[in-house]
């Protein structure tokens, strides 16, 4: 089962979300509007996000959609 870890530090107005374990060798890139992408520096794989100046109700993060599992393609039978 996938685990997502969310850390909120209200005194720093910082929201951090990890969908993989934090790394000692992680690197960060700002995507704009105070959104930071956290990646593994060896694989360049995204492992998390940070939102700077975050407060509950922030317009940058007003809703979330989460899908877990596999999408099954519909098989159609062709009759002749």
Q: What is the CA radius of gyration of the chain?
A: 18
Contacting residues for 11 by C-beta, under 8 A, at least 6 apart: none
- Count H helices, E strands: the chain? 0, 5
**pLDDT bracket for residue 68 (50, 70, 90):** low
pLDDT value of residue 75: 45
Q: What is the structure's pLDDT at 59?
A: 79
Share of the chain above pLDDT 90, in %: 51
* pTM, full prediction: 0.70
What sign does the CA torsion over 45, 46, 48, 52 have? Answer: positive
Domain range list for the chain: 5-56
For 1-33, what is each residue's pLDDT tens digit?
568 899 999 999 999 999 999 999 999 999 988
């Amino acid at each position: 089962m996938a685990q997502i870890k969310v850390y909120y530090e209200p005194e720093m107005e910082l929201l951090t979300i990890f969908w993989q374990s934090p790394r000692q060798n992680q690197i960060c890139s700002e995507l704009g509007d105070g959104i930071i992408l956290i990646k593994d520096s060896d694989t360049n794989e995204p492992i998390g996000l940070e939102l700077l100046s975050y407060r509950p109700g922030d317009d940058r993060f007003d809703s979330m959609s989460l899908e877990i599992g596999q999408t099954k393609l519909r098989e159609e039978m062709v009759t002749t």
